Structure 1
Amino acid sequence: MMNIEEYKNVWVFIETEHGKAKNVGLELLNQGKILAKANNEKVIGVVIGRDMNDVVKSVISYGADEVIVVEGEEYKDYSTDGYTNVMNKLVKKYKPSVILIGATINGRDLGPRLACRLQTGLTADCTGLDIDEASRAIAWTRPAFGGNLMATILCSDTRPQIGTVRPGVFKKIQPDESKSVNVIKEEIHTPADEIRTKLIDFIKIAGEEGVKLEEAEIIVSGGRGLGKAENFSIVKDLADVLGAAVGSSRAAVDAGWISPLQQVGQTGKTVGPKIYIACGISGAVQHLAGMSSSDIIIAINKDPDAPIFNIADYAIVGDLFEVIPALTQQIREYQNS
């Protein structure tokens, strides 16, 4: 029988790419700190890779109370076998109560594999985290039934509690470069014959040459109101002058007007930019769930009763085919003045 009282602290798996920490891990450090504080625990960043000194400094500056680092040539690139082996051994040694993992491609691979190895639960693709007052367990909130409901799930009987969390749901804190915390270096190696996959090359996906949605400070999104794929050009023109990423509603993706990689919403990506401009998007609840945490929301729609206006900071009621080109031209003239 598992003694739950032995398990303490909130761990955040810090995913890296090309030697840098991905934003989602740094975002989760902030929320992890809130969860840890509620139970008088620490938030601990877990870093796996090769030559991770810069990543460790970043993790400390973004709020970790402690960092655990495992380095080795075999961890230069992510592998299911290697990273699961490391996390499994670390968990058995330190017994964390909670493990937060970004719901990225790699995170969605690592989370369930680790949960199975540890014989504990996993809540996938979360959009909210809280503490259940009665049990002090994590209350994991995620979309259910195709995004039509939000389910809150508790892992009451086993530890650690593991969940994958969408990028962009939480905000990073302002980094404190002067901060210093304890860094634990663990020696864990995985034999080459136990790692069954090998990364051959990184291939950029078409449409990813611009700013990534999850990392963008400004996003311009188009929806059904654009009418056809060719009309996305006016959205892209506005995004270009703002140095913004291009997003879309599910309706535009389903119509084949734009890549699914650019979909914002419960069944797409969750984003939290400084400015979100919604063009011809009515504001279905599934879309709002993916962008409502944006700092400033600007909505352009000819329907004055569109639900998007209920959460917009600035509402422009008008024909987007007139408004967007005029706005783009005004910004361009201001930049050139």
Structure 2
Amino acid sequence: MKALLFIESNGEKVLGGSLELINAVKALDADGTALVAGDRAAADAVADLGIPVIFVDTATDCDTLTAVLSETVKENDPDVVLLANTALAKDIAPRIAARQDLGCVSDVTGISKADGKVIYTRPAYNGSILENIEVEGTAVITVRNGSFEKPEDTSNAGVTEKKIEIADDAVKAKIVDTVKEITESVNLEEAEIIVSGGRGMGSAENFELVKELASVLGGVVGATRPPIEDGWISRAHQVGQSGKIVAPKLYIACGISGAAQHTSGMMGSNYIVAINKDEDAPIFESANLSIVGNVTDILPVMIEEMKKAKA
């Protein structure tokens, strides 16, 4: 079985979700090859993880990356194409599948084999159920962050530089300028600790407790839709179906009721702590540790104890 991995970087390092694809290949017991575009340092870093790399320097945006990956799929004829479930990959994956007439499954959280067939598992209906999907022929798969462990360094498997000509008509849109708020640099997908606040925080002043706990723990602040709509924090911090899909080692939900739109975005967390005064709140069904009580009373105690522990 052959697998082609599309590896993304942010210009400084390889994205964690892309690195996890290497262990996804191991779960398939497949021969993997990685494609890295535009970042030679990232190509070398991936090769150090024991997987051969194809490096292409000509692709920089969604249109050119689609053209390069489509051509690579055509030349290598893999059984599966794996991409991390990022915003860019969500654009690229269906385009490749349509151009090459391939099957496509998004937001996969598990991969297994049964009777010689590959089974792709993904959440459906806001994460209330898991569905198993089989694909005939080559499959284009986006994998949710946190579904697999990150690999460790092994022997360098080498980098092959390749030139792929991109037709002028391949570029459908041209980015002439980018405006980015400082808050948009928040990287929820890569965070190991996330402290999220919901409507139950009550006010912008109370929401500062969420920010303080995140700071003490060295984590990142998350939020549900209501605090964002009320202006307590920017939309870059939203976790959930219409925000970011996260999978930290620790997720602390403060004053969050547990609507499916939110829990579908954090169900991949390794350990979930939920704080809510309603003992019947749906969030407790997802939690490893449930704390029933007023969040504005509990957070100051947690912050103080965490400070003592760090000292």
Do these two structures clear the TM 0.5 threshold for a shared fold by scoring above it? yes
The Cα shift of 1:272 comes to: 1.9
Are 1:282 and 1:307, in contact at CA under 8 Å, matched by a contact in 2?
A: yes
Match of 2:37 in 1: 48
What pairs with 1:251-290 in structure 2 (closer than 5 Å)? 252-253=227-228, 257-290=232-265
The Cα shift of 1:164 comes to: 2.2
Distance 1:172 1:202, change over 3 A: farther
Match of 1:153 in 2: 133
Give deviations 1:111-145, integer Å, cap 9, x for gaps. Answer: 12211211122223x1423235246134242424x
1:20 is paired with a residue of what secondary structure?
A: coil
Q: TM-score, length-normalised on structure 1?
A: 0.80
Give the distance between the partners of 1:85 and 1:94, measured in 2 at CA.
14
Give the distance between the partners of 2:215 and 2:240, measured in 1 at CA.
22
RMSD: 2.8
Aligned match for 2:183, one of 207, 225, 242: 207
Distance 1:249 1:123, change over 3 A: same
- How many corresponding residue pairs? 311
The Cα shift of 1:320 comes to: 0.9
Give the distance between the partners of 1:43 and 1:85, measured in 2 at CA.
20
1:220 is paired with a residue of what secondary structure?
A: strand
Give the distance between the partners of 1:231 and 1:113, measured in 2 at CA.
44
Give deviations 1:229-266, integer Å, cap 9, x for gaps. Answer: 44322211211222211112355456665444323234
1:170 is paired with a residue of what secondary structure?
A: coil
1:215 is paired with a residue of what secondary structure?
A: coil
Is 1:232 aligned to residue 207 of structure 2?
yes
Match of 2:287 in 1: 312
Give the distance between the partners of 1:221 and 1:10, measured in 2 at CA.
36
Give the distance between the partners of 1:27 and 1:115, measured in 2 at CA.
22
Aligned match for 1:101, one of 74, 83, 87: 83
Aligned match for 2:21, one of 2, 25, 28: 28
Match of 1:12 in 2: 5
Give deviations 1:185-210, integer Å, cap 9, x for gaps. Answer: 3221225564344444543235324x
Give the distance between the partners of 1:255 and 1:32, measured in 2 at CA.
43
Distance 1:266 1:199, change over 3 A: closer
Is 1:118 aligned to residue 96 of structure 2?
no
1:291 is paired with a residue of what secondary structure?
A: coil
Are 1:213 and 1:245, in contact at CA under 8 Å, matched by a contact in 2?
A: yes
The Cα shift of 1:219 comes to: 0.6
Q: TM-score, length-normalised on structure 2?
A: 0.86
* AA in 1 matched with 2:110: L
Unmatched segments (≥5 aa) in structure 2: none
What pairs with 1:48-67 in structure 2 (closer than 5 Å)? 48-50=37-39, 52=40, 54-62=41-49, 64-67=50-53
Give deviations 1:255-314, integer Å, cap 9, x for gaps. Answer: 665444323234432222222111112334554443243333222222334343445343
Give the distance between the partners of 1:135 and 1:286, measured in 2 at CA.
35
* AA in 2 matched with 1:218: I
Give the distance between the partners of 2:133 and 2:117, measured in 1 at CA.
13
Unmatched segments (≥5 aa) in structure 1: 1-7
Give the distance between the partners of 2:2 and 2:278, measured in 1 at CA.
49
